[in-house]
Amino acid sequence: MKCSTLYILSLFIITGASHAHDVQVPASIEHSPLDQVTKHIHVVHGTQALPSPQTRGFMNNPAVITTRNGVIIVDPGSSEEIGRQLLEKIKNVSDKPVIAVFNTHVHGDHWLGNHGIRAVYPSVPVYAHERMIERINAGEGQEWIKLFMDMTKQAIEGTKVVAPNIGLKGGETLKLDDITLRIHHTGHAHTDGDIMIEVVGDKGLFFGDIVAANRVPNSDVPEDASFKGTIKAIKLMLDGSATFFIPGHGLSGGREVPESSLHFLVKLRESVTRYYMQGLTDFEMKEKVIKDLSEFQDWHNFKEIGRVISFVYQEVEHDNF
Ligand SMILES: [Zn+2]
Ligand SMILES: [Zn+2]
């Protein structure tokens, strides 16, 4: 599976599948503002372009939750440098120390920046789903470093694997200083080890990559995903108490942010299921499914939908076997 991840992401480099309409978002973290989105949450809304020498690997939404006596970081980006730059930005909103770091899932754009935070705060606890920690300890961390070194032409040089050290299962309520966090895990979704983090007092929810605004869900590493599980996770969170949502990529907002990912995924599964029932193979249905989903053609990674259809097809086949 790891090899195919590398292969698929390498294909992006070769085919240049990043998108011209990303230009409205600054590519590097230095030029991206730390936006306040709720009372205690600030987010750097990153570029949706894939890692390159120009972005120095930056492609996610690093965030900070301010507490009375500290700050909590969520997903500190994809290199030591980006983690350190995030710390610089945080100085504009708080002069308090980092008391915890959370990683939403194992994909390198979200957690390789742990190194930059631990370089300054050597004993800060880093929380993640226990399955993510298992995968990193089994060697996946090094593979992400290698991939990002290749994609950025060595711009993340020096970044080391700093695995999370506190494992979560989902269902925990954590009181950190004056902030209460509720950890959600609803089974295999974007990966087999996602956490979603609810900042209870703010009614804010970090989705990780279970939701990516204006981006084809699960399209970067579809072999890691359960499309069905992603639908389940989004529905459960929409039925919960959060009202403001921070996606793993793209802009934060109200219910419309997760609802649009959900709409895409439901439509995709319905379309693939319909043609499967008619006896079409994934290859034969591809153009029909693309037509059914044409309202999403401006989304990031829409060009990758053929690959995504194959994985959804396998799920539908499995469900009907
Ligand atoms: Zn991801
Ligand atoms: Zn991501």
pLDDT digits (tens, 9 = 90+) for 164-210: 999 999 999 999 999 999 999 999 999 999 999 999 999 999 999 99
C-alpha dihedral, 28 to 32 to 37 to 43, nearest 10°: 30
Structure tokens at 204: 């804010």
Q: In angstroms, what is the span from residue 279 Cα to ligand 2's centroid?
A: 34
Q: In angstroms, what is the span from residue 270 Cα to ligand 2's centroid?
A: 25
Residue 2 has pLDDT above 90, yes or no: no
Condensed to tens digits (0 to 9), the pLDDT of residues 291-320 reads 999 999 999 999 999 999 999 999 999 999
Higher pLDDT, 59 or 6: 59
- Residues whose beta carbons lie less than 5 angstroms from ion ligand 1: 107, 209
Helix (H, G, I), strand (E, B) or coil at 69: coil
Residue 135 has pLDDT above 50, yes or no: yes
Rounded to 10°, the helix 305-320/256-277 angle is 60
Q: In angstroms, what is the span from residue 295 Cα to ligand 2's centroid?
A: 23
Q: In angstroms, what is the span from residue 176 Cα to ligand 2's centroid?
A: 25
- Which of 162, 112, 163 shows the shortest CA–CA distance to 133? 163
The pTM (predicted TM-score) of the whole model is 0.92
Mean pLDDT for 46-65 is 93
- Residues whose beta carbons lie less than 5 angstroms from ion ligand 2: 107, 109, 209, 248
CA distance 311 to 227: 8
Mean pLDDT for 215-229 is 95
Give the angle subtended at the CA of 46 by the CAs of 43 and 50, to the nearest 5°.
Answer: 150
Mean pLDDT for 129-152 is 97
What per-residue confidence (pLDDT) applies to 86? 97
